[in-house]
Structures are given as structure tokens and as C-alpha cells.
Structure 1
């Protein structure tokens, strides 16, 4: 068990008892997987923003047809709710990975989040959608 300070070790238990690294190959493989997970998290956030903007436009109408009223029981709202729950789970997984205080894993979370933002959020530059938190 490591103290609660940043360290550069390769021996780490990550999230589950079955995800244990004990050498450089294990930590490098985990870094790659965590980087992809963080990028997917950003993609999921941006996909949810995209769905929200499209649903908002649908509710406002487009001049050719009357606006649709939002409904808690609509299929799109259920889909967005499921995506939100997945985003919460992945976000907490990333937070817990960062809280291993393993520098390599912290870098993977950060680089993956940055890469995902670069890859998926480039259209947000002209939008007023902002993140209050991750």
C-alpha cells in the first residue's frame, strides 16, 4: 500500500483486485488503456452535448413544423439518461485511478482527457456550452 503521495512505481492495483501491475509492461498497457478510457469519456461528454443541442432545437421548432414538447418518458430522454449514468461511472473510475497517486496513471488520465477534448470538442469553440465540472 502506497502512502497518499505521488509516486513513480510500477506495482499498482487499479480499480479492481484483478487489475494489478507488477512490471513496466503492465503499467504501459494500463497507461494506454486509461488514456483511451479518458478520451472516450470526453467523446461521451461531447456526444451528450450534441444530443442536447439537437433535442433543444427540436423542442424549439424550425419554422416549418411546430415545436415538440419535451417528455420525461421519451426515448431520447431515456437514452440521454443512460449515457449520463455511464458518464458518471467512467468519470468516477478516472477519478479513482488518479487517486492511486501513480504519476504514470495520472498522466494517462490527463493526456487522455486532453486528447479526447482535442479530438471531440473542436466544434465547441463557437458554442456557449461550458463544463462546470467533469
Structure 2
């Protein structure tokens, strides 16, 4: 096995059954790796979008209180039962929204880690074409996905 980067159309990529023996096979393999790199960038930006939505879903007045619980010095409405009940309901709703977003972010993180390590192992084949596929896919993914994140977070007037 090579321990330096090389240009070749013959390699075994990730698994024994992914054995490349032709320029066409190499081209298809580089395309698959490129698409995995784009997916990595999409998932990374998806995590940022979920975080952004989570911060918008939990009102600032409830963010610490809802997520961490009420403080001992929590000043209510002088003991009015109705306002306390609505405050508790709002707090529970904020906790539920936060938890759903947290689960979504966790799942996206797991996907990002799996795809990222897969790409790392592909690069460790030391095939320069595969490395170029990862770099190109990362650049394309970032170029395409980042503006979508910015546009949705900064709507025009």
C-alpha cells in the first residue's frame, strides 16, 4: 500500500468490494466521494440552520428559565394562580421545542461525523484523485449551501 499520494486509476477504496481498475471506475468513485463531500457541507449548514431555528423558537425571556429551570428568586405575579399556570405552560412548551431541536441537531451531528470519517478514510487511500474529489466537493458544497443559510437568516425588507 502506498504511503504517499499517487495518481492512479487502480485502488481499493474503503471496502474490498470497492475495487477500482479503470479510468471510468475511478471517475465514478471520485464523483461519489465528491457528492459525499457536498453532503457533509449540507449537513454542517443544516445543523447551523436548526440551531438558528431553535434560538428563534425559544423566547429570550424563557431561554435560561425554560432550559435550566426556574431560579429560587423567581418573582411571579404576586401569587396569581392564572399567571403562574400560563407561565408554567409556556415554560413547558419552550422546553418541548428546545428538546425537539436538540434531538434534530444530535441526529445531524451523527450524520456529519459518519460522513466526515468516511471522507477521511477515503483520503487515507492516498489516491490524489480522491483527495481532489473531497476538496472539490467541499468547495462546491460550501459555495452552494452557505448563501442559502445567509439568505434565510437575513430576509429582505
Fold agreement, TM-score > 0.5: yes
Instruction: Specify which structure has the bigger relative contact order, considering alpha-carbon pairs within 8 angstroms and separated by 6 or more residues.
Output: 2
Q: Does the C-alpha gap of structure 1 residues 124 and 98 become closer, same or farther in structure 2, counting only changes over 3 Å?
A: same
Q: Aligned partners of 1:56, 1:14: CA distance in 2, in Å?
A: 41
TM norm structure 1: 0.80
TM-score calculated relative to the size of structure 2: 0.69
Query: Which residue in the other structure is 1:112 paired with?
Result: 137
The CA distance in 2 between the partners of 1:79 and 1:50, in whole Å, is: 11
User: Displacement, 1:51?
Assistant: 0.6
1:16 positional shift? 1.1
Q: Deviations over 1:44-82 (max 9, x none)?
A: 1101100101101112359xxx676446x8333222211
What RMSD in Å do the two structures reach over aligned CA positions?
A: 2.5
In structure 2, runs of 5+ residues without a counterpart are 62-89, 152-157
Is 1:39 aligned to residue 38 of structure 2? yes
Q: 1:82 aligns with which of 107, 114, 137?
A: 107
- Residue 51 in 1 paired to residue 50 in 2? yes
Looking at CA atoms only, which structure, 1 or 2, has the larger radius of gyration? 2
8 A Cα contact 2:50 2:104, kept in partner: no
**Separation of aligned partners in 2, 1:70 and 1:54:** 14
Residue 126 of structure 2 is matched in structure 1 by: 101
1:70, 1:102 → 2: CA distance?
Answer: 48
Cα separation, 1, equivalents of 2:122 and 2:106: 24
Structure with more of its chain in helix, by fraction: 2
3-state SS of paired residue (1:5): coil
CA distance in 2, matches of 1:19, 1:119: 29
SS in structure 1 of the partner of residue 54 of structure 2 = helix
Structure 1: give runs of 5+ residues left out of the alignment: 127-134
User: In the alignment, which residue of structure 1 is the partner of 2:11?
Assistant: 12
Number of equivalent positions: 122
Measured in 2, the distance between the counterparts of 1:70 and 1:9 equals: 54
Following the alignment from structure 2 to structure 1, what is the Cα–Cα distance between the partners of residues 112 and 104? 12
